[in-house]
Amino acid sequence: MKIAAAAYPLSDLADFAEYRAKITQWVADAAGQGAKLLVFPEYGAMELASLGGHDVAKDIEAALHEVARHWPAVDALHCELAAKHGVYILGASAPFFIGDRPVNRAVFYGPDGVIGHQDKQIMTRFERETWDVVAGAGLPVFDTPIGKIGVVICYDSEFPLLARSLVEAGAEILLAPSCTDSYAGFTRVRVGSMARALENQCIVVHAPTVGDCDFCPAVDVNIGSASIYGPPDHGFPANGIFAETALNEPGWAIAEVSLDAIHELRRNGGVLNHMHWPEQLLRLGTKTQA
């Protein structure tokens, strides 16, 4: 199976038709290269703030509401494209209002429509102290014909127990969409994602926003490269990287992965991190009792 991770630039859009054309072309490009699973980044949908005009886009509170109002049209578009190409798409995350404040929600689409969604679990300082975007609840695993899939949005990828909860529920592939405004921030998500691939012996797909977005200060600087990671062990890349884009260059990172290889590695790898995970808890328990 081929997986595609987007290094995605935000556009100043004239109207929704321009957004439709952009997403349609991105999906067609990845599907045309044989990808069955496509991953867009965290807050990639913030470009929709431009549809309210620049005064709205520049107001970080108004921008949240402007983007959120386009959810029905965004859902319809992604459902249409997933069905047309027979692919699975993690759409770019966006604010979704539950009561007075929004969560940061990424929706997962398949050929038959919306499969489910993942809300970000742990908020960054900007989200909680300035933007007042709130944490969601629940860590679902999406059981699909192409594998069991979980989502750890940006900062969530830096917390091992979130990913481990998904893996213990059966996840074989973790999707890590991100939006970071510094090389340090990008590196934190990159290192976290690679560590999650190593310790859980799974595939992790890292899809960031890239480039400047001067019309929307909430996402004005975007630094990163898209990558697909695996455990550095037998039959996998020695550096743990299947594919990656150049830093800050828009485009798809595409790689072919095998879930059978993941299962075999978990059973008989050079190391058995997935199997041996509980031993650290036993060791810590012994130490505490001593």
Pairing between β-strand 113-119 and β-strand 227-229 as defined by DSSP bridges = unpaired
Q: What is the pLDDT of residue 289?
A: 46
Buried b (16+ CB within 10 A) or exposed e, 7-30: bbbbeebeeeeebbeebeebbebb
Give the model confidence (pLDDT) of 19-43 as tens digits. Answer: 999 999 999 999 999 999 999 999 9
Partner residues linked to 88 by β-bridges: 37
Task: Give the whole-angstrom CA distance, residue 109 versus residue 224.
Answer: 24
Q: In this structure, are residues 212 and 230 in contact, taking their beta carbons and an 8 Å threshold?
A: no
Q: What is the pLDDT of residue 216?
A: 97
Give the model confidence (pLDDT) of 156-201 as tens digits. Answer: 999 999 999 999 999 999 999 999 999 999 999 999 999 999 999 9
Q: What is the pLDDT of residue 283?
A: 85
**Number of structural domains, the chain?**
1
Q: In this structure, are residues 125 and 115 in contact, taking their beta carbons and an 8 Å threshold?
A: no
Residue segments in the chain with a per-residue pLDDT below the cut of 50? 288-290
Q: In this structure, are residues 175 and 150 in contact, taking their beta carbons and an 8 Å threshold?
A: yes
Partner residues linked to 144 by β-bridges: 147
Task: Give the whole-angstrom CA distance, residue 7 versus residue 41.
Answer: 8
> Is 206 exposed, middle or buried (CB count within 10 Å of its CB: 0-12, 13-18, 19+)?
buried
The structure's pTM equals: 0.96
CATH of the domain at 266: 3.60.110.10
Range of the domain at 9: 2-289
Buried b (16+ CB within 10 A) or exposed e, 50-64: bbbeeebbbbbeebb
Q: What is the pLDDT of residue 18?
A: 98
155 φψ region: left (φ > 0), alpha (ψ -120 to 50), beta (else): alpha
Which backbone phi and psi does 214 adopt, to 5 degrees?
A: -70, -10
Q: What is the pLDDT of residue 286?
A: 61
